[in-house]
Structure 1
């Protein structure tokens, strides 16, 4: 049985601080416009970008977590 990846795991894999506060701060300070795909954001390193793209393509449980991050990073651009 594999453990379903969580946002904290995703941030650890990306080499980022994975505390709840750090994740919330990252999301709040790294909002993307609606046209920018998560993998096109200019703040990722090449390795992080490849990791995200790979997980999205895998269509497994990681893809769900990356999609959640993607939605969170586009919160400000979505009409409420």
Structure 2
């Protein structure tokens, strides 16, 4: 069975956040970089429900895991550099 393909816009919508490109870029600029040693789900920018979703996506290797991993990598970069 083929895994669904999710995009950042799908993930942000799933998290209950604005999911248009401009809003996603603004969110990433505002909350990046995540401090070294901090797991994505433990970053201060998430509410409890969002953090649980992100944590479970990775722990359960859910179909969301790939895009959550991509978000993690993106949010570790300093957008000002």
Same fold by TM-score greater than 0.5: yes
- Structure with the higher fraction of residues in helix conformation: 1
* Larger displacement relative to structure 2 (34-43 or 14-23): 34-43
State the TM-score, normalized to the length of structure 2.
0.85
1:7 aligned partner: 8
State the TM-score, normalized to the length of structure 1.
0.86
1:59 aligned partner: 61
Does the alignment pair 1:74 with 2:76?
yes
Q: Determine the C-alpha separation between the residues in 2 that align with 1:40 and 1:11.
A: 17
Verify the 8 A CA contact 2:3 2:63 in the aligned structure 1: no
Gaps of 5+ in 1: none
1:50 aligned partner: 52
Q: Per-residue deviation at 1:3?
A: 3.2
Q: Per-residue deviation at 1:35?
A: 1.6
Aligned length: 78
Q: Per-residue deviation at 1:2?
A: 5.3
